[in-house]
Amino acid sequence: MSTLQTSPVFADPALAGSVGCTDCPRLAAHLAAIRARDPHWHARPVPAFGSLDARLLVLGLGPGERGANRTGRPFTGDVAGELLYPALHRFGFASAAEPLGPDQWANPAMQLDDCRITNAVRCLPPANKPTPAEIRQCNGHLRTELAAMPQLRVIVALGLVAHQALLRAYGEKPTHYRFGHHVRHALPDGRILLDSYHCSGYNWRTGRLTRESFEAVFAEVRALLA
Q: Which of 66, 69, 194, 76 is closest to 122 using CA atoms?
A: 69
Distance CA 162, CA 156 (A): 9
Residue 22 pLDDT: 86
Per-residue pLDDT band at 136 (split at 50, 70, 90): very high
Mean pLDDT of 77-99: 94
- In this structure, the number of other CB atoms found within 10 A of the CB of residue 190 comes to 7
pLDDT tens-digit map of 198-207: 999 999 999 9
Is residue 193 pLDDT above 60, yes or no?
yes
Per-residue pLDDT band at 12 (split at 50, 70, 90): low
pTM above 0.85, yes or no: yes
Distance CA 34, CA 44 (A): 9
Residue 7 pLDDT: 41
Residue 8 pLDDT: 43
Distance CA 225, CA 194 (A): 13
Is residue 2 pLDDT above 90, yes or no?
no
pLDDT tens-digit map of 150-184: 999 999 999 999 999 999 999 999 889 999 999 99
